[in-house]
Amino acid sequence: MAAPRVTITDVARHAGVSKTLVSFALNDRPGVSPESRRRILAAAAELGWRPSHRARSLSVSRAFALGLVVARPAELLGADPFFLAFIAGVETVLSEHDQALVLLVVRDRAAEVAGYERLARDGRVDGVLVTDLRHDDERLALLERLRLPAVTLNRPAGPSSSPAVCLDDSAGVREAVAHLVDLGHRHIGHVAGPAPFLHSRSRREAWAQALAEHGLPPGPEAVGDFSPASGAAATRTLLGADEPPTAVVYANDLMAMAGLTVAHQCGVQVPGDLSVTGFDDAASAAHTHPPLTTIRADVPAWGARCARTLLELVEGGAAEDVEMPPARLVVRDTTGPPRRGGP
């Protein structure tokens, strides 16, 4: 049976003062002498008193929680190493500040809007983290209307009053293309993420621009949804072309790993016949066969910085944009010189 919760009544009795004085001392309000404050804090520590979030939130109109609304199928979200690492980074900060994360996973934009409205109406969160930015993202105007503080992952395409925590993923993609060109590849394809997402466009544009900078013509491309199934389908499309690529730059690790499997099934040797690069450097990337060359972004650190920035915004009313270290290439064994003629 759990021990009864220590209350401010218990602290007041132990310190020999009134409940009002205890409340003032514990909430750092004026009107308490230094000696009384010291005695009250010592009594609270001795009894193991901890603040009640419910009572605290009622007294200061705070939820002591941050929100994250993700419009992706739950089964895809659970398999996506990015979100697992990002949430882990967020939680490291929230746990330090005795705060909670409210996660809503929805399937479409209508449910996404309803989710934000519900969080604001019910006062369940003090602010939200906005991921998967889109072109002409209607969520930013919605959050302003709801007066819900927000921090975005990277900068939106249009005007925004919200601070952004930015991580340049295009640098890693350019490194990947340069690495493949140095190995001798001249026909480099790309499997992109969903077109509405700004980070999908950023990675695709970085791939295309890097090819142009190296004097190479546009390569073949296909579009996935970041899931393994879509990566497998896109790989079959590219390998089935009249002139298949000798290398493919994938927009995330899940699609790249599925591409490896498809290549093995088709008798295409990696990296002899086909070089492959991913993005995210998931924990499993170093343990594929062969180990995956990929682009590493410090996603847990990104999540932690986003949480700190949003707490700063909630508590102080303002926060500055933050630039994270850019994504970088991690070379493993899925890239090598092309064989004459390609796969």
Confidence of residue 315 (pLDDT cuts 50, 70, 90): confident
Return residue ranges of the chain for CATH 3.40.50.2300. 65-167+300-325, 170-296
- What's the pLDDT tens digit per position in 5-32? 677 788 888 888 887 787 778 766 677 8
CATH number (3.40.120.10, 3.40.190.10, 3.30.70.260, 3.40.50.2300) of 65-167+300-325 reads: 3.40.50.2300
Residue 156's region, left for phi above 0, alpha for psi from -120 to 50, else beta, is beta
Fold of 8-50: 434 Repressor (Amino-terminal Domain) (1.10.260)
Confidence of residue 92 (pLDDT cuts 50, 70, 90): very high
The pLDDT, as a whole number, for residue 2 is 47
Give dist(CA 80, CA 257) in Å, integer: 12
- What's the pLDDT tens digit per position in 247-257? 999 999 999 99
Determine which of 65-74, 177-186, 199-208, 269-278 has the lowest per-residue pLDDT on average. Answer: 65-74
Return residue ranges of the chain for CATH 1.10.260.40. 8-50
The pLDDT, as a whole number, for residue 48 is 83
Contacts of 179 (CB under 8 A, 6+ apart): 277, 293, 329, 331, 335
The pLDDT, as a whole number, for residue 11 is 86
Fold of 170-296: Rossmann fold (3.40.50)
DSSP structure class, residue 338? P
Token match 């005795």: residue?
Answer: 98
- Which string of DSSP letters, residue by residue, matches 200-238? HHHHHHHHHHHHHHTTPPPPPEEE--SSHHHHHHHHHHH
Give dist(CA 128, CA 143) in Å, integer: 9
> Model pTM?
0.81
